[in-house]
Structure formats: C-alpha cells, structure tokens
Amino acid sequence: MRKRSRQQIVVQSVDSAMPPLTRKTYTIEEAAEVLGLGRNKVLALIAEKRLRTIPDIGKRVLIPVVAIDEFLAA
C-alpha cells in the first residue's frame, strides 16, 4: 500500500470542494519545460526582453502564461 504525502491529501481535499485552479504564472524551470527549452535559454530570452516577467517579486522570477503565449505567437 502506498503512503500519501501531506501535499497529495491537501490537493485532493481542495479538489473535491472547489474547481481546479488554473495557473497564471510559471517559474523559469516550468516555462523552460513548457517551451521545450533549457533554463539558460529562458534566462537569455528574459535578458533580451523577448520574454516578459512579473517585476518586483523579490528573488523569485515569475513568467505569466500570457507572456509565453505572446512569445510563441511572435
């Protein structure tokens, strides 16, 4: 029998009470996976201002899903 982690239990209880949440931002690693690129290439796109990020979140860099859609449409 598999043990469930605490996170899985919380997600399941939230899912049963509310509709699933839709992500509006990605981390650099998640954006790289979505785009099929490496982390360094995503950082280069951000430095070249070809991929927008959300400013002023401290050290954390978040990329809006809309920015990824805009990049792919260009």
Domain ranges of the chain: 22-73
- Would you say residue 27 has pLDDT above 50? yes
Confidence band, pLDDT 50/70/90 cuts, at residue 16: low
C-alpha–C-alpha distance, residues 8 and 36, integer Å: 27
Highest mean pLDDT among 10-14, 20-24, 50-54, 58-62: 50-54
CATH class of 22-73: mainly alpha
3-class DSSP string for the chain: CCCCCHHHHHHHHHHHHCCCCCCCEECHHHHHHHHCCCHHHHHHHHHCCCCCCECCCCCCCEEEHHHHHHHHHC
Is residue 29 a contact partner of residue 14, using CB atoms and an 8 Å limit?
Answer: no
